[in-house]
A and B are shown apart, each in its own frame.
Chain A
Amino acid sequence: MNKDAERIIQLRNVVKSFDGETVLDHINLDIADKEFVTLLGPSGCGKTTTLRIIGGFETPDSGEVFFDGVAVDHIPPYKRPVNTVFQKYALFPHLNVYENIAFGPKLKGASGPGLTKKVQEMLELVNLKGFEKRRISTLSGGQQQRVAIARALINEPRVLLLDEPLGALDLKLRKDMQFELKNIQKRMGITFVYVTHDQEEALSMSDTVVVMDNGQIQQIGTPQDIYNEPKNAFVADFIGESNILDGQMIEDYVVTFSGKRFRCLDAGFGTRTPVDVVVRPEDVDVVSVERGMLTGTVTSVTFKGVHFEIIVDVNGFKWMIQTTDFVEEGAAIGLYIEPDAIHIMNKSEFSGMFGDYSSFSDELEHLSDVEEPEDDE
């Protein structure tokens, strides 16, 4: 009971479908007070729908939503202690910047110098001092986005919902705003629920990351947990780069993959259990063939600035390795993997779908495409 008290929002077995297609499949989620939570996943994973259910814009088909332990299923958006920063901002075009920000407080009866002061404070918070009289249509995307944040924050919500708020901004501005948003959240001490498909954004801003796919939560954890201890092949692949190999847990601390035995730090999987093995590209050491635990041929080398990204063919499986030492294409090299670089995962529905870099050139192309922000899920 006491534990529930600090949980400001709880979702219990939330199911939602549109036109017979299940968008959310039994979502269970606890959000703690003053936490920065990110819902992360590819297009159509259900993250925006989850946010809209918390905001009250969608009603779950079944399951319940609690605020402070009280069910809110039939409470309309305007009575919930949350405010939303919408995708593409949804600012009122018939009002100027001041009127947009003052919209919420005015509804609650605020007026006069008190309100003016408060709006000014908000404008200062989002670095838009002196923009009071500007029309919305004269603002840039970044400025509109700041107005949207100010318009939501001035209501002093306990929870701020943000739906891909940086999706329409260019890379540089996005980085700056990430930093600013995190600062605002710390300073105001309120809960942020943030939706994005950008894994880097999620890792750098969040206290807790919720990885979603196919309407289900795949993993909940701190950014470090999610990166270092992915629960399944989907999470390992979606967050950063991963070599994911088919393996077998022989006994505690011993695993085989690629036809070799390796020491590892994982235990409790039983004996002779089929597992997925994750090795991050930066955790593999390139050594001479004689010293290598595995040996392979370099098939491609890409200079990335800080390091080289090389693809190594080991008995038909293509590894991605990030190394600071230059190796030549076509060279035979050895791979050395420390026990703490090996991470063991149970087999899942995603096993075998990700983690081999055979089609790397395609994937590279795909990765370099800037993903369009999704309009609706």
Chain B
Amino acid sequence: MKTAVKNRDGRGVSLLRRIAAAPHVAWSVLFVVVPLIFVAYYSFTDREFSFTLDNIAAFFTPRYLQILWRSVKLALLATGFCLLIGYPAAYFIARADAKKQKILIMLIMLPMWMNFLIRTYAWMVILQDKGIFNSVLLSLGLKPLKLMYNEGAVVLGMVYDYLPYMIMPIYSVMLKLDPRLVEAASDLGCNGFQVLRKVVVPQSVPGVISGIMMVFVPSISTFYISQKLGGGTFLLIGDVIENQYTANNLHMAAAISLVLMILLLAGMFVMNRFADDGAEGGLIP
């Protein structure tokens, strides 16, 4: 996101370029930087707007830590399943011929054109006690299952919603993989599985890391999926933020958001250190 770049002849940034970049800069400041400053400000103040660390301290109590742990656990599970499904899918798509690739990518992207809420409601229709899935079971003479309002349903919702974010970056790295490297590995004695393990997987690490971050981050902060498919029987960190917000306790909501953001940034930093060892090509530099 460089807004100030040098001209090709190195004479600095022309006025025209400054003008062209101005809306972008203004947008970033107005909708990214200013709100973040507000979040930080609210985190460290009480209702009288005097400085306090109480909000931050409140987060590090068993009640919130337990919720955070549950959020991390479910987000990790969702990310793991996305990787498990998304990696082979990306590999398969990247190896298909150009025509098939276009169709398959379309099919992956298509659900994302529908509203997120509608997609989640669709799962409710399927999973309810008297939903589609249980109707099928009943008609087969089987006992209906309790499918909703548990952690499994929430993870399922997350996997369904965020799977494309796992597939796309891995697919883009796979596309760039030099087919000669696969041939070279095969020439040196690798069978099909070894080619995958020793050449394809190590080279796709940057895509995997991008995918993990792009799934994990929204998963850990989701609140809608857990409310609808989890039925509010348990809270995730996103729910807590929303609750505090709707209860008009903006300071606590801001504090939780800030801590979560810092934890995620730390996590991304560590992940990127891994990515440095791999080849280039991920979506996140």
Residues of chain A having any CB pair with chain B under 8 Å: 55, 57, 76-78, 82-84, 86-88, 90-94, 103-104, 107-108, 151-152, 155
With a cutoff of 8 Å between Cβ atoms, the chain A residues found around residue B180 in the complex are 86-88, 90
**Given A94-B202, A94-B203, CB of A57 within 8 Å of CB of B189:** no
Instruction: Tell me if B199 and A92 are in contact (CB < 8 A).
Output: yes
Report the bound CA distance from A107 to B198 in whole Å: 10
Q: Least Cβ distance of B200 to chain A in Å?
A: 11
With a cutoff of 8 Å between Cβ atoms, the chain A residues found around residue B178 in the complex are 90
Instruction: Tell me if B183 and A77 are in contact (CB < 8 A).
Output: yes
Instruction: Tell me if B183 and A90 are in contact (CB < 8 A).
Output: yes
Instruction: Tell me if B279 and A107 are in contact (CB < 8 A).
Output: no
With a cutoff of 8 Å between Cβ atoms, the chain A residues found around residue B181 in the complex are 90, 92
**Given A90-B180, A90-B181, CB of A83 within 8 Å of CB of B203:** no
With a cutoff of 8 Å between Cβ atoms, the chain B residues found around residue A84 in the complex are 183-184, 187
With a cutoff of 8 Å between Cβ atoms, the chain B residues found around residue A88 in the complex are 180
Does chain A have a CB within 8 A of B190? yes
Q: Least Cβ distance of B196 to chain A in Å?
A: 13
Q: Least Cβ distance of A244 to chain B in Å?
A: 39
Task: Type the 1/0 row for B173-213, where 1 means its CB is closer than 8 Å to any CB of A.
Answer: 00000101101111111110010001100110100000000
Name the residue in B184, B191, B198 with the highest tally of chain A Cβ atoms < 10 Å from its Cβ. B184
Report the bound CA distance from A78 to B189 in whole Å: 4
Name the residue in B183, B194, B202 with the highest tally of chain A Cβ atoms < 10 Å from its Cβ. B183
With a cutoff of 8 Å between Cβ atoms, the chain A residues found around residue B187 in the complex are 55, 57, 77-78, 82-84, 86, 152
With a cutoff of 8 Å between Cβ atoms, the chain B residues found around residue A87 in the complex are 180
* Residue of chain A at shortest CB distance from B278: A94
**Given A93-B279, A107-B194, CB of A86 within 8 Å of CB of B186:** no
Name the residue in B178, B187, B205, B279 with the highest tally of chain A Cβ atoms < 10 Å from its Cβ. B187
With a cutoff of 8 Å between Cβ atoms, the chain A residues found around residue B186 in the complex are 57, 76-78
Report the bound CA distance from A83 to B185 in whole Å: 10
Other contacts beyond A78-B190, A103-B185, A107-B188: 8, CB < 8 A: A57-B183, A57-B187, A78-B188, A92-B184, A93-B279, A94-B203, A104-B189, A152-B188
With a cutoff of 8 Å between Cβ atoms, the chain A residues found around residue B190 in the complex are 78, 107
Report the bound CA distance from A192 to B32 in whole Å: 63
Which of B188, B194, B198, B279 makes the CB contact (< 8 A) with A83? B188
**Given A86-B180, A90-B181, A93-B279, CB of A155 within 8 Å of CB of B203:** no
Report the bound CA distance from A252 to B181 in whole Å: 57
* Residue of chain B at shortest CB distance from A103: B188
Report the bound CA distance from A92 to B278 in whole Å: 11
With a cutoff of 8 Å between Cβ atoms, the chain A residues found around residue B194 in the complex are 107
- List the 5 shortest-distance A-B pairs measured between CB atoms, nearest first: A90-B180, A104-B188, A90-B184, A107-B189, A94-B202
Q: Least Cβ distance of A324 to chain B in Å?
A: 48
Report the bound CA distance from A27 to B81 in whole Å: 51
Report the bound CA distance from A121 to B33 in whole Å: 59
Report the bound CA distance from A87 to B188 in whole Å: 15
Instruction: Tell me if A155 and B184 are in contact (CB < 8 A).
Output: no
Report the bound CA distance from A120 to B198 in whole Å: 22
**Given A88-B180, A93-B279, CB of A155 within 8 Å of CB of B189:** yes
Between-chain CB contacts (< 8 Å), 10 pairs: A57-B183, A76-B186, A77-B183, A77-B186, A78-B188, A83-B187, A84-B184, A84-B187, A92-B185, A94-B205
* Residue of chain B at shortest CB distance from A163: B180
Instruction: Tell me if B188 and A155 are in contact (CB < 8 A).
Output: yes
Report the bound CA distance from A91 to B189 in whole Å: 15
Which of A86, A94, A103, A155 makes the CB contact (< 8 A) with B183? A86
With a cutoff of 8 Å between Cβ atoms, the chain A residues found around residue B198 in the complex are 103
Report the bound CA distance from A94 to B200 in whole Å: 10
Q: Least Cβ distance of A375 to chain B in Å?
A: 11
Q: Least Cβ distance of A332 to chain B in Å?
A: 58
Report the bound CA distance from A245 to B210 in whole Å: 67
Report the bound CA distance from A108 to B194 in whole Å: 12
Report the bound CA distance from A152 to B199 in whole Å: 16
With a cutoff of 8 Å between Cβ atoms, the chain B residues found around residue A155 in the complex are 188-189
Report the bound CA distance from A86 to B185 in whole Å: 11
Report the bound CA distance from A84 to B194 in whole Å: 18
* Residue of chain B at shortest CB distance from A94: B202
Interface residues of B in 75-118 (CB under 8 A from A): none
With a cutoff of 8 Å between Cβ atoms, the chain A residues found around residue B203 in the complex are 93-94
Report the bound CA distance from A82 to B189 in whole Å: 10
**Given A86-B183, A90-B183, A107-B194, CB of A151 within 8 Å of CB of B188:** yes
With a cutoff of 8 Å between Cβ atoms, the chain B residues found around residue A82 in the complex are 187
Report the bound CA distance from A57 to B186 in whole Å: 9
* Residue of chain A at shortest CB distance from B179: A90
Q: Least Cβ distance of B192 to chain A in Å?
A: 8
With a cutoff of 8 Å between Cβ atoms, the chain B residues found around residue A90 in the complex are 178, 180-181, 183-184
Q: Least Cβ distance of B277 to chain A in Å?
A: 8
Q: Least Cβ distance of A39 to chain B in Å?
A: 18
